[in-house]
Amino acid sequence: MAEVERLMRQVESAPDPQVRADRVRALAGVARNIGAARISEEARSLVSQIVEETPDLTPLKDAVAETFAFIRRSGG
């Protein structure tokens, strides 16, 4: 999950839409690979609006927070 955290920070601080889109795609792939389906789905849906200068990252951030909370509750 450290990779998810790192990529999420990069998404939030990306200097331009292209870098942000690359990081969102990477986040979707990592999430898919570790079985974090909600994060992967939110990241994939965000790619379509990523060209905006300030896309709404709230659904993706919420998915990351909820996934981390689930892992903590599960003892992972």
Indicate the domain borders of the chain: 2-74
What would the two tokens of residue 76 be? Answer: 């992972």
Tell me, yes or no, if the pTM score tops 0.75: yes
59-70 average pLDDT score? 94
Give the single-character DSSP code of 53: S
Q: What is the pLDDT of residue 63?
A: 95
Residue linked to tokens 């331009």: 16
Q: What is the pLDDT of residue 3?
A: 94
Q: What is the pLDDT of residues 7-41, one digit of tens each?
A: 999 999 999 888 999 999 999 999 999 999 999 99
